[in-house]
Amino acid sequence: MSLTNATMEDPVILFAGQYKVAILTFAGPASYTTGGFTITINQLRYIAFAGAISALGNGWVFAVKSWSGNTVTIQAFGLPSTLAAGPLAEAAAGTNLSGANFTLIVIGN
């Protein structure tokens, strides 16, 4: 699954003249893909840094796996109360994460 940021409200702010900072809030995918899902940041050509912030109350932690060009790959991990496999096991394929929100912070140009 791939998400785009088409519905975000003015997330990009100029930073130090040459970089932009995007702060974006997303819901997880309705059907998770093992290894992560991608988000394309249309306002950027390339990404220099990306980090994810999760609200721990939803039972899931979202982490940046990698980025390339203007696309970020996000992985989801379940907290012990969410999964029987132990702390921070990756979400199983097909898991519905649409009720879990996370914030993505991206710096690029």
pLDDT tens-place string over residues 49-78: 999 988 766 788 899 999 999 999 999 998
Full residue range of the structural domain in which residue 29 is found: 2-108
How does the average pLDDT of the chain come out, rounded?
A: 82
The domain that holds 90 is classified in CATH as 2.60.40.3940
> Reduced to 3 states, what is the DSSP secondary structure of residue 40?
strand
Does residue 54 or residue 9 have the better pLDDT? 54
Residue 71: what pLDDT? 95
User: How do beta strands 2-4 and 37-40 pair?
Assistant: parallel
Position 7 confidence tier, pLDDT thresholds 50, 70, 90: very low
pLDDT of residue 8 exceeding 50, the answer is no
Count of domains forming the chain = 1
Residues 6+ apart with CB under 8 A from 7: none
Torsion of CA 30, 31, 33, 37, to 10 degrees: -20
Does residue 22 or residue 49 have the better pLDDT? 49
